[in-house]
Amino acid sequence: MLTLVFDSLGRTVARHPRRTIVVWAVVTAACFALALVGVGGETLFERLSTGAPQVPGSESAEADAILEEQSTSGSSLSLAVQGVDPLDPGLAEPLGEARERLTGVDGVVSVIDPYMLPEGPQSPAAAPLLAADGDGFLVVVELDPELGEAAEESALEEVQAELEVLAATLDDVAPGATGQVGGTSLIVEAITGQVERDLATGEAVALPIALVVMVLVFGGFMSAAMPMAGALASIAGGLGAVYLLSHWLDMDSSVVNVVTLLGLGLSIDYGLLIVSRFREELHAAPPPDGTTGGRRRRGDPGVERALRRTMQTAGRTVAFSALTVAIAILGLVVFEPAILRAFGSAGVAVILVAVATALSLVPALLALAGRRLARPGLISRVPGLRAVLARTGDVVSEEGVFSRLAARVQRRPWWVLAGSLVVLGFLAAPAAHMELRNSTVELLPRGSDQRDYVETIADQYPASAAPAVRVVAEGSLEEVAAWAEELADLPDVESVDPPAPVGPYVVVGVRPDTDDAGGPVARAVVHDARALDAPFPVWVTGPAANQIDFTQALVDRAPWAAGIVVLATFVLLFLMTGSVVIPIKALLTNALSLGAALGVLVWVFQDGNLADLLQFTPTGGIETYVVALIIAFGFGLAMDYEVFLLSRIKELWDAGHTNDDAVRLGLQRSGRIITSAALIIIVVFAGFVVGKLLVIKEVGFSLAVAVLIDATLVRMLLVPATMTLLGRYNWWAPAPMRRLQKRFDLGH
């Protein structure tokens, strides 16, 4: 049944290639317009959000919801002035003039600076506005909370401009004075802007290098250009899909980069497999009488036959591979945090776009090119490249570097197995001391204006900085004040802010004895505060509390997510291979590969061993949701290469080859594609690492490492070794399951 479906798809595309290409051109243009122009002028990047990821229904999320609901404050911007004595009487005039201009901005309800008080900066009430080192002060501007979105945006822009003018004016009073304008809206803008720049950087790095790799793989530009055409359509489709999903899901800024570049990498991988198999089938199809194998002629049965055979084999492999990747990523939807559900939904949508381009657009381009793909490209005439391209672009040799590698592995499978396990265990070891973090502004690179602003506030204006732990209590001010003494007596608590009424609630700020708001000390204070027996309802929130709740949400749902993914993967691989041994082996080897990738991630980013090379500042841990992404995406990519390899080995086994010959020849036929696809994926994810946003660096680097480990150590050494040792047992299944598999066979 499946064979007929893919055969019919291949026949349809072969007979209507131009129509297929036109449809994709329209879809691509529409998706780019949707993402970059949007509906009503609102672009995709304007719809993104940022902030510490939360768990709906958790204690910290409920506390934050209470504080937001009860808040009577609007948006605000602040100017942190440095390099000036706040007691300088020359400041009074420019600050007074600026205050007058700012209060005249529509929507501004208050302007606070040290000189607005009757006693000026000498007033005790001005202390929170004065820098701790006596070398600066704050100006805080607050907006009306009832402002509409458009009015608020306009007011913030005008306030920012006025504060920047004030900072420049103060240089006349105190030469060398500087000012930093900051606030929540500017932090969000900085992160989403960095996402947009990092996406452009990633594509600028990935696409040219990927093209060079494919030219070497295929020995010419024409064959290489076809997966690239599919990749460009996938980028557009991915951006369009994320834009549409943003109307139903809260899309974090990092979702765009991760899922679109994942779709880019997968679409190139799938296009690579389709083009390679088509060229292989084309070599086996003699040209019709009267042709020389050059330009495609209408009615050339060899081209259509090659394309239909390609769709029956490689097309089915691509569809099956995409299904396994989608299942792995769909496991993220099981978790409660909205950010993981957004990654899961958007990831699956982008995978569907990638597989659609590989099964329609790329075959249409192949049908138009026809037999020209069987000829050496013009680049092969370049002196010095002919010999290289003869090796890298070879699609027909039964023996080669990969079959010889497999033969060596098969001579000493126990040694290869033991050595591979030792190396994987060594790489995985650092994961044992992994620390998890939920960061916000720390994701921005050092030197960014908003990160510098937040650090200045924390260092110089501690009273203005939010406490690391906040307790929301539903009780009277007197009751909460008495109970707050217990909070002050907790270990590792440096101070407790005076209780402050917020509507019917009372908020107590708790300041742990640490500068790390999400570190072990702050987390211990949260646990201790939550363990106290209060005589009224209490909610504890803050970065550490949010991190604890997020981690617990992952732990609670991880068994369900893992169970669904493992069961679905087992069933699919069983239906593909007819074996119960191969799916179990695949799951175990993938787990080893992921463990090694996580270990390298911890060694690099948490321990900071490559901080200078990769240009980042360690936060002391790994972003919590990055771990979930690495496991889901890494598992999916590992299954991608597993399917590429197993499909060829199973094809040979079904044709009557022995187990060892099937493994050896299967590795030869798929090894070039797996290696090339892995190299392209690594290049794509390297675009993440070149970017500035820390979370994107972590995802890109760790997925590149996961692919590198899986495509080399696991796929080229560990899998051939284990399949050689298992021999015929690779293909074992109980008789009832064999009968079931024959009924629903997904193999070739």
Distance CA 422, CA 406 (A): 20
Between residues 316 and 441, the one the model is more confident about? 316
The residue out of 491, 523, 545 marking a domain boundary is 545
Distance CA 6, CA 86 (A): 75
Residues 407, 532 within the same domain: no
Distance CA 460, CA 138 (A): 10
Residues 506, 595 within the same domain: no
- Asked whether residue 439 is domain-assigned, the answer is no
Residues 376, 405 within the same domain: no
pLDDT of residue 380: 53
The residue out of 500, 527, 545 marking a domain boundary is 545
- Asked whether residue 556 is domain-assigned, the answer is no
pLDDT of residue 220: 67
Do the beta carbons of residue 108 and residue 157 sit within 8 Å? no
- Asked whether residue 632 is domain-assigned, the answer is yes
Do the beta carbons of residue 161 and residue 98 sit within 8 Å? no
State the average pLDDT over residues 538-551. Answer: 92
* Polymer length of the chain: 748
Q: How confident is the model at residue 384 (pLDDT cuts 50, 70, 90)?
A: low
Residues 224, 164 within the same domain: no
Split into its structural domains, the chain has a count of 4
Helix (H, G, I), strand (E, B) or coil at 104: coil
State the average pLDDT over residues 631-641. Answer: 87
- Asked whether residue 198 is domain-assigned, the answer is no
Distance CA 238, CA 359 (A): 16
pLDDT of residue 272: 85
Residue 666 has pLDDT above 60, yes or no: yes
State the average pLDDT over residues 10-38. Answer: 90
Contacts of 406 by beta carbon, 8 Å cutoff, 6+ apart: 663, 664, 667, 668, 720
Q: Which of 114, 109, 119, 108 lies closest to 96 in space, CA to CA?
A: 114
Supply the DSSP symbol for 716.
Answer: I
pLDDT of residue 296: 47
State the average pLDDT over residues 24-38. Answer: 89
By percentage, how much of the chain surpasses pLDDT 70? 93
Residue 398 has pLDDT above 90, yes or no: no
By percentage, how much of the chain surpasses pLDDT 90? 35
Residues 618, 705 within the same domain: yes
State the average pLDDT over residues 442-457. Answer: 82
- Asked whether residue 139 is domain-assigned, the answer is yes
pLDDT of residue 448: 82
Contacts of 377 by beta carbon, 8 Å cutoff, 6+ apart: 215, 218, 219, 220, 221, 222, 223, 389
Q: Which of 553, 521, 554, 523 lies closest to 540 in space, CA to CA?
A: 523
- Residue 17 CB: number of other CB atoms within 10 A? 22
- Asked whether residue 329 is domain-assigned, the answer is yes
Residues 495, 598 within the same domain: no
Residue 294 has pLDDT above 50, yes or no: no
Distance CA 747, CA 185 (A): 53
- Asked whether residue 207 is domain-assigned, the answer is no
Q: Which of 471, 459, 387, 431 lies closest to 60 in space, CA to CA?
A: 471
pLDDT of residue 254: 76
Residues 387, 409 within the same domain: no
Residues 335, 229 within the same domain: yes
Residue 17 has pLDDT above 50, yes or no: yes
Identify which of 171-185, 471-485, 613-627 has the greatest average pLDDT: 471-485
User: What crossing angle do the helices spanning 581-601 and 719-726 adopt, rounded to 10°?
Assistant: 150
Residue 661 has pLDDT above 50, yes or no: yes
Residues 345, 421 within the same domain: no
Between residues 516 and 25, the one the model is more confident about? 25
Identify which of 281-285, 366-370, 724-728 has the greatest average pLDDT: 724-728
Task: Please give the structure tokens belonging to residue 141.
Answer: 């501007």
Instruction: Please state, rounded to an integer, the average pLDDT across all residues of the chain.
Output: 85
pLDDT tens digit sequence for 203-250: 788 778 877 877 777 766 777 788 888 888 988 888 888 888 888 888
- Asked whether residue 505 is domain-assigned, the answer is yes
Between residues 465 and 228, the one the model is more confident about? 228
Residues 528, 587 within the same domain: no
State the average pLDDT over residues 521-525. Answer: 93
Do the beta carbons of residue 282 and residue 314 sit within 8 Å? no
Helix (H, G, I), strand (E, B) or coil at 449: helix
Q: Which of 466, 446, 465 lies closest to 457 in space, CA to CA?
A: 465
pLDDT of residue 414: 95
Between residues 327 and 288, the one the model is more confident about? 327
Residue 16 has pLDDT above 80, yes or no: yes
Residue 439 has pLDDT above 80, yes or no: no
**Domain, as residue range, for 378:** 219-391
CATH number for the domain harbouring residue 663? 1.20.1640.10
Q: How confident is the model at residue 372 (pLDDT cuts 50, 70, 90)?
A: confident
pLDDT tens digit sequence for 246-269: 888 888 777 887 777 788 888 888
pLDDT of residue 25: 94
Residue 665 has pLDDT above 50, yes or no: yes
State the average pLDDT over residues 547-572. Answer: 90
Do the beta carbons of residue 501 and residue 477 sit within 8 Å? yes
Do the beta carbons of residue 574 and residue 731 sit within 8 Å? no
Distance CA 440, CA 194 (A): 13
State the average pLDDT over residues 628-652. Answer: 87
* pTM given for the model: 0.82
Which residues are registered as beta bridge partners of 82? 136, 178
pLDDT of residue 30: 92
pLDDT tens digit sequence for 329-339: 989 999 988 88
Whole-Å CA distances, 710 to 390, 628, 634, 682, 706: 27, 18, 9, 11, 6
Residues 271, 343 within the same domain: yes
pLDDT tens digit sequence for 56-92: 889 999 999 998 888 878 889 999 999 988 888 888 8
State the average pLDDT over residues 583-606. Answer: 94
Edge-to-edge order in the sheet of strand 108-112:
108-112, 136-143, 76-82, 178-182
DSSP 3-state percent helix, strand, coil across the chain (nearest 5):
70, 10, 25
CATH number for the domain harbouring residue 460? 3.30.70
Residues 592, 727 within the same domain: yes
Strands (E), 19-128: 76-82, 108-112
pLDDT of residue 285: 64
State the average pLDDT over residues 400-407. Answer: 87
Between residues 466 and 166, the one the model is more confident about? 166
Residue 728 has pLDDT above 60, yes or no: yes
pLDDT of residue 499: 93
Helix (H, G, I), strand (E, B) or coil at 292: coil
Identify which of 103-112, 225-234, 287-296 has the greatest average pLDDT: 103-112
Q: Provide the pairing of β-strand 108-112 with 136-143.
A: antiparallel
State the average pLDDT over residues 577-594. Answer: 92
